[in-house]
Amino acid sequence: MVILYYGIVDGVKIPDGFYYVGGTKDSGLVISDNSADENKYKGQTTVGTDLQGNQYVWIEVPKTAAVYPTAGLAITSFTDDEYAKIENDLHTYTSTYRNGTDYTDTYKADSTTGWFSGESQYNEAKKKMLKSVYQNGGFYVGRYETGIETTQSPRTASGSTTQTPVIKANAYPYNYVTRTQAKVLAENMAHGDKTTSLMFGVQWDLVLAYMHNVGGIGDIVLTSDSKTIGNYKNNFWNIRNTSAKWSGDNGTTWGNCPKAKEGAEKSILLTTGADTSFGIKNIYDIAGNVWEWTLEKTSKTLFPCAARGGCYNDGGSAIPASYRLTYNTRHSSNFYGFRVSLY
């Protein structure tokens, strides 16, 4: 396997301190934030296959006149007006997945510890993300739902967020987190000079646009019935991955795979990336398994937090990958987790 420590692969910049794992822009370009022995490979162009880091996939957002008809392609000063044009153009580009929603990436006051200090701080975070997407032609997203190493105890209760989050296959989902706890955990995964963040709503929509435009996944699968691409209660899957685990009691106890879901079984939680059928362009569980908190604000005063993608207790036709769900700022349960973006 050829893995670059620094450099450009298929026109995509591999961030300093990251390794190229595999794939292309068209198949899903994967990077890792470290290896088993990072210093051993630093500066080399080829290393072994012992990468143990958190993995991210490149989401292409073409910098073309078709994507940015209002903002144009020559922004250098990045005024507030220009940021608004970039955001509006991206909303138009992803309108299929917004489906007329009035939810927005705007600030909503929240007294819980770790939330943004005010509207200005939220807006600065959003501008940083938008500028990076515009200048770099995309962003990275967690290859998997954020999880906990299989060598640690899976989560079974709300409150504590002391366990180290990872973005790896076959990890226990990092659930039982509030939206704000997910925000803090995501930010703390930063590596080198790159920003890690809970996903903005527009980023989720851009992931779906990438899956459709590059991956060839029909919009009807992403917006109407995602059963075939996710762990839903009405997907009677057969998991052959021997490293995966399953839970029929909402994460209290776990069994080993292989596992075929039987007719009487519906709601089964799985470890991350349990089956290849749940992956599109190297991105797993964007539909089903656990809901994923975002930084998007809903239109509901008492339920301002937006989560995306559905969970193992939902049906894929009722709750497709594009679906938006609302909840309050203090809510956490076995159904809710998160995904990290990097830029």
Whether the pLDDT of residue 48 is over 50: the answer is no
Distance separating the N- and C-terminal Cα atoms of the chain: 25
pLDDT at 1: 52
Q: How far is CA 193 from CA 33, 94, 96, 182, 343, in A?
A: 12, 29, 33, 21, 9
The mean per-residue pLDDT over the stretch 123-147 comes to 98
Containing 203, the helix (H) or strand (E) segment is helix 201-213
For residues 72-85, b (16+ Cβ closer than 10 Å) or e, as one string? eeebeeeeeebbeb
The mean per-residue pLDDT over the stretch 116-141 comes to 98
| Range scoring the smallest mean pLDDT among 13-27, 176-190, 248-262, 305-319 | 13-27
| Range scoring the smallest mean pLDDT among 10-24, 97-111, 201-215 | 10-24
Whether the pLDDT of residue 309 is over 70: the answer is yes
Q: Assess whether the previous peptide bond of 154 is cis (omega < 30° from 0).
A: no
Q: 106 with 118: CB under 8 angstroms?
A: no
pLDDT at 264: 76
Coil, strand or helix: which one is 53?
Answer: coil
Q: 214 with 59: CB under 8 angstroms?
A: no
Confidence of residue 17 (pLDDT cuts 50, 70, 90): confident
Q: Which residue has the higher pLDDT, 45 or 343?
A: 343
| Range scoring the smallest mean pLDDT among 3-12, 100-109, 136-145, 321-330 | 3-12
Number of Cβ within a 10 Å radius of residue 248? 16
Percent of the residues in the chain that have a pLDDT greater than 70, as a whole number: 93
Q: How many angstroms separate the CA atoms of 238 and 277, rounded?
A: 10
* Chain mean pLDDT for the chain: 93
pLDDT at 47: 45
The mean per-residue pLDDT over the stretch 258-274 comes to 93
- Enter the pTM of the model: 0.94
Q: Which burial class, exposed, middle or buried, applies to 333 when counting CB atoms under 10 A from its CB (0-12, 13-18, 19+)? A: middle
Spell out the residues 6+ positions from residue 286 whose beta carbon is closer than 8 angstroms to its own: 207, 208, 211, 229, 230, 280, 309, 321
